[in-house]
Copies of this chain bind each other. A is one copy, B any other.
């Protein structure tokens, strides 16, 4: 609130601005950057000269389609892929995957692993995560020193400082400080990110037209999660990763939720809830994990004929609709992306969902609310982790106060 802007901050921030403009735009010329940032050409010129000299940016002649114009051709600026690398770790139900990504955002190596997360003891789960990272870091093709950041994504609740997993549906274990464990083990700064938040980050990069300032990413899978972007920034709770849309209350005292409470949205719209309802199992029955194939079969049956399956999706849509309605009462309507296996059954969910929203405060503009679907969440989570790690590097490469790197530069004419 009351922290002054120091003189050195200025350059630091404007450097960040230039890097961010390049990451966003692909291969912008200096002139384009000057236009988008509002800074003068001379400033951009000075900053980009520094950045090139430090090996962060590179000049690339190939401005491609713009080469047909009159005057001096623009010189595209691009991120130097070798400037750094980041590592992403995504841990989901029975599945662990790691990727090494260069500074320009290209995947240079990856590894995936099946494992039984639900029954693994603590040491083993942590051990597997560290081992897979170690294997990637020992890859002879990789310059270990260039790996500047690890971002780990996980289903469940993380703390607001992105340090630890507090709770997750993929394991009975709680409070695992993955970020600290990774940092200690490998000496590389790390964060622990919530899966749905990373989905939102990825969507923002994938389709900045649609997902710019305000939007919602909802994961429809075993559980119901949400990533929320408001005013262009990821929204997180004050203590946790926040945005636990799935545990808003749909019906007080209602169906039993995986979290042990009753009446949560998830207790009607999570895979297990749809399954429970379609199979005529009691709402008080303990949640069970349902495979993706079973869910697809359920959806197929619901599409063929009226019956308990279709009714289950209808109830899921209703729960999601009233939940979204309450959410929209708080933040006003915004574009929604439905992600995960049940997003593939959104055709079964949508009618009831829209009908419910229309009965809520958000319903004033219910027709104008648009939904997009993406059945596969894992690529999104990985992309989000990658971008999160890369933007961290973007803002870490120019160190605070003192000159950026060890002290290499600045002795040329």
Contact = CB atoms under 8 A, between A and B. Distances in A.
A400 to B, nearest CB: 13
A334 B253 contact: no
Given A2-B20, A7-B10, A329 B361 contact: no
- What is the oligomeric copy number? 2
Contact of A17 (B4, B38, B214, B360): B4
A228 B6 CA distance: 31
Interface in A244-272: 244-245, 247-253, 259, 261-264
A2 to B, nearest CB: 5
Residue of A7, A259, A318, A332 with highest tally of chain B CB at under 10 A? A332
Contacts of A3: 17, 37-38
B322 A252 contact: yes
A122 interface: no
Nearest to A331: B237
A411 interface: no
Contacts of A247: 329, 360-361
Interface in A1-56: 1-7, 10, 13-14, 17, 20-21, 24, 36-39, 43
Given A249-B322, A318-B252, A331-B242, A1 B237 contact: no
Contacts of A148: none
14 contacts: A2-B20, A2-B37, A3-B37, A4-B38, A213-B238, A230-B238, A239-B332, A239-B333, A242-B331, A244-B361, A248-B325, A252-B322, A252-B359, A263-B359
**Shortest 8 CB-CB distances between A and B: which pairs?**
A237-B332, A247-B361, A4-B37, A248-B326, A4-B39, A244-B329, A238-B332, A247-B329
